[in-house]
Structure 1
Amino acid sequence: MRFKIITLVAVALLATACSSKPQQEAQATTGGTVAPPPAPPPAAPSGPAPGSAEDFIQNVGDRVFFGFDKFDLTPEATATLDRQAAWLKQYPAVTVTVEGHADERGTREYNLALGDRRAASVKKYLTALGVDAARVQTISYGKERPAVEGSNEAAWTQNRRGVTVIN
């Protein structure tokens, strides 16, 4: 019985001595205190580069939408254009082209004219907010470049748009 008790005490002392040895060595090499583990390296920046076309699309929004046969700006459109103007003021070397688009209904000529009025409406709003007009070009694609294929209201709504493209 004595032998069992002595063996248990010896095993306990041995286990205690083994577990504290690395800590004692660390304390000896750092002047008596345990050094914290090194901090992980800083994370690489994620997301698009500031001032890039991807930054503009992702963080500002590059398109506004119009009602059927309309070229006047909605409150949602003006909110997006406010952000676009602020971004363009922050990056004064950037030039843009505003594309005017229409849905598939109507003649080619009518939709080109409507797309032109939509692009001009966007440009007028941006310049009214202080963006230099020389930095903003316009072009109309009418119904020639649909964003969404289809002959239904869901597709038509997405195709009646003005898109600001970074040059």
Structure 2
Amino acid sequence: MMTTMKKQGLSLAFVLAFLAGCSSTDTTEDSDTMGGAGDGQNGGVTTGTADREGVTSGSGMDGDDEMQELDTIVYFDFDQATLKPDARALLLAHAERLKENPTDVRLEGHADERGSREYNMALGERRANAVRDFLVLQGVRRSDLEVVSYGEERPLAMGSSESAWSQNRRVEIVY
């Protein structure tokens, strides 16, 4: 029971930290400290200019009509299904969006080519379940979230290098 209370307290702390970070209107420091377009963290997957980690501005909108788009890919470390801190911040934003506008979402788990097919299918599922469980803890309806694992079958990047592997260790959030 005590660990559940600690988890809830940590979840609340993450939400408060995220909201505090969103209240700032000056993004120049954020873009300088979070890394630029050539930092290789996202592997060139997102487009637009990064305002905050995990949130991009669409280039086709202007002024007050500009709506921020969220990244839809959560990356993982090798052989891990544990959410990184930047993934948690991104998922908090997705959770808020899903609570305001409930919709069906598919969480597609993926793995790199290393390991057996069966192992990678299970790893992709564990990753997608980690994303689902985090969103549910934030108040998203579990019935709106579908978990699918593709293992190593649908690579985002081809090749047998750390650069390619890091892009393939992911969960894609499909609205």
| TM-score normalised by structure 2 residue count | 0.61
Aligned with residue 88 of structure 2, among 65, 78, 95: 78
Confirm whether residue 155 of structure 1 aligns to residue 160 of structure 2. no
Structure 1 unaligned blocks of 5 or more: 1-45, 48-54
Confirm whether residue 67 of structure 1 aligns to residue 77 of structure 2. yes
**Aligned equivalents of 1:72 and 1:95: distance in 2?**
23
State whether residues 60 and 87 of structure 1, in contact with CA within 8 Å, keep that contact through their aligned partners in structure 2.
Answer: no
User: What is the aligned-residue RMSD (CA, Å)?
Assistant: 1.2
State whether residues 61 and 84 of structure 1, in contact with CA within 8 Å, keep that contact through their aligned partners in structure 2.
Answer: no
**Aligned equivalents of 1:149 and 1:129: distance in 2?**
34
**Aligned equivalents of 1:78 and 1:164: distance in 2?**
14
Confirm whether residue 107 of structure 1 aligns to residue 106 of structure 2. no
Structure 2 unaligned blocks of 5 or more: 1-59, 62-66
Which one has the largest radius of gyration? Answer: 1
| TM-score normalised by structure 1 residue count | 0.64
Letter of the 2:106 counterpart: T
Greater strand percent: which structure?
2
Identity percentage of aligned residues: 48
Q: In the alignment, which residue of structure 1 is the partner of 2:105?
A: 96
User: What SS is found at the alignment partner of 1:154?
Assistant: helix
Structure 1 outlier segments of 4+, above 6 Å: none
Q: Deviations over 1:84-139 (max 9, x none)?
A: 101111212x1101000000111100000000000000000000000000000100
User: What SS is found at the alignment partner of 2:71?
Assistant: coil
